């Protein structure tokens, strides 16, 4: 556990907690707005959370060589997370685009 200083540990752990809270808040926003694309964003954030947890775990065990596979997993989850976040952002963008079709006004018939 001596691989990182106490202030660095505080930053690592608080970042993971912050990410978990952000996932929860985005999920809640999706529920409040009834827009499922925000739920997609919260799910797309999970690979980045796994990546951060891999880093914290590896550092907790003093960067042990036997756990070096965590570095590969972290890199893979970062790559996957970048693509899932891009996809989720695209879905949110697409859900906010209004169609260019103008709704016709109803015609009032006089009697």
81 pLDDT exceeds 70?
yes
Residue 101 pLDDT level (bands cut at 50, 70, 90): very low
The pLDDT value recorded for residue 72 is: 97
The pLDDT value recorded for residue 111 is: 63
The pTM is what?
0.80
The SS3 assignment for 9 reads helix
Q: For 32-75, how does the pLDDT look when each residue is reduced to its tens digit (9 = 90+)?
A: 988 899 999 999 999 999 999 999 999 999 999 999 999 999 99
95 vs 78, higher pLDDT:
78
Domain regions of the chain by residue span:
6-96
Query: Looking at beta carbons, which pairs linking 9-18 to residues 24 or more positions away fall under 8 Å?
Result: 12/52, 12/55, 12/56, 12/59, 13/56, 15/52, 16/49, 16/52, 16/53, 16/56
């Amino acid at each position: 556990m001596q691989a990182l200083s106490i202030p660095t540990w505080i930053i690592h752990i608080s970042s993971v907690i912050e990410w978990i809270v952000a996932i929860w808040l985005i999920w809640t926003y999706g529920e409040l707005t009834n827009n499922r694309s925000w739920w997609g964003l919260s799910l797309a954030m999970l690979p980045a959370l796994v990546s951060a947890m891999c880093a914290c775990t590896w550092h907790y065990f003093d960067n042990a060589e036997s756990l070096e596979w965590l570095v590969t997993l972290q890199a893979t989850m970062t790559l996957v997370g970048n693509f899932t976040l891009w996809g989720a952002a695209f879905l949110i963008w697409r859900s906010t685009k209004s169609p260019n079709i103008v709704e016709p006004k109803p015609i009032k018939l006089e009697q």
